[in-house]
Structure 1
Amino acid sequence: MNIETNGGNNIIRILLIEDDNDLSMATAMGLEQRGYSVDAVYTGAAALETLEHERIDLILLDVMLPDIEGHELILQMRSDRVGYIGPIIFMSCLADSSNIVDAFRNGGNDYIVKPAKFEALVERIETNLAEQRQGKPMGKFWYKRFMIDHPKRVVYRAEDGIVKEKIPLSPTEYSLLKELTAHAGEVILYKQLYKRIWKLDDLGDVRTLMVHVSNLKRKLHLNGTDVISAIRGVGYLFQDL
């Protein structure tokens, strides 16, 4: 059975970045038996070269690679230069919360702790691809004073429909803005926002969330107006301009 992308013409291609040869071969073989096309590489450099020349629908990324850490590699893949916007699933034997949080902060969509059952991996792949398909209609969203280019994950200051300058946002700040604007005019609770950005049920230290939102508010602040309002003890509200 061939698994097809949204267009219905191409088999879904997965980039597997894993330096354990045995695990890489076993994972690639299993996914290919499920109908996926797999490009398996062992280094970050090879991954970047593949992204430069090939269409990739989803990435499976190990944290510990011989030439670069996965946390650094994902920043390069999400950068304007590379511009990869598809799902990235981390696969690592590192199960500590700091590594997991960093993975999501840097632009990861999911995190699987190795060793993991193959069926669980397939389920996460299918879930992330389904979420991407549901989000595909997102394009450029214009507001009175800025524009969000979701395919490129970039935000610009704008005036009267004219782009003025790029607003530099971290991957976490962009993800926060994406969630807040998707629910414009609604109050999003701290716990809801934390779970959507960091994929963790436990709210943890709410100050982490507050610091990121504060930085985002500062960057979007214009002419004495805040587009994000803090509802003390509850959550945040994006003002639909």
Structure 2
Amino acid sequence: MTPLLTRTRTRAVETLSLDSAGTRNALSAALVRGLADALADCAGDPEVRAVVLTHTGGTFCAGADLRDPPPPGELVGLLRQIAELPKPVVARVTGHVRAGGLGLLAACDVAAASTAATFAFPEVRIGVAPAVISLPLVPRADPRALARYCLTGERFGPAEAVAAGLLTLAAPDVDEALVPVLDGLRRSCPQALAATKRLLTARVLETFDRDAADLTALSARLFASAHAREGMTAFLEGRDAAWVV
């Protein structure tokens, strides 16, 4: 088990906590692989009824780690693994979510956040696009909301995220709000849960089948571009990119 991830279990619910607060739980190659391994363990464990994906620190996930990014194909694989997992996956958020973190939320079956959470798609501001994470996002989220937030990179709150279909619910106490959700999962037949999840994720998986290769290639091209180098350098140096007017 990678030290970037911690695991606990309570009454058949496995909690996987992103635990790299020093990088704001950015999706490094190591974190993506560790999370994929943990999800595979949960998929094969008959004692696990559901998975909760959460975090330590004030950020759920800051998106791709710009210093150690995962190969686009591995991020695609992780998002698909969450959607295909034969156990429901519930995102629990109490902090900030950016870029690839929103891809994780979209891949989950239920996504809940505290009212202190914030969200943004900053890709356009660093010269790239939310290509890979669009695979679970586009089938599940409101297209008008995605157009606004993906094109502007502006920050928005949990109420807007619920309205956009990016969150299932938002509440001051996210753990209290999740009590009936987790109780319902514990009361449900595992085979029925798996079959129902397959019905509900069919459109998402069709999108992966159709578009994953093209979007992976697009992501690689954009990240290798001169615009991306300028955008990421500007971000790391804390300055505006050259195209800001």
TM-score tier (shorter): 0.3 to 0.5
Q: TM-score, normalised by structure 2?
A: 0.35
Structure possessing the higher relative contact order (Cα contacts under 8 Å, 6 or more residues apart): 2
- The answer to which structure has the higher strand fraction is 1
Structure showing greater radius of gyration is 1
Q: 1 or 2, which has the higher helix percentage?
A: 2
For normalisation by structure 1, the TM-score amounts to 0.35
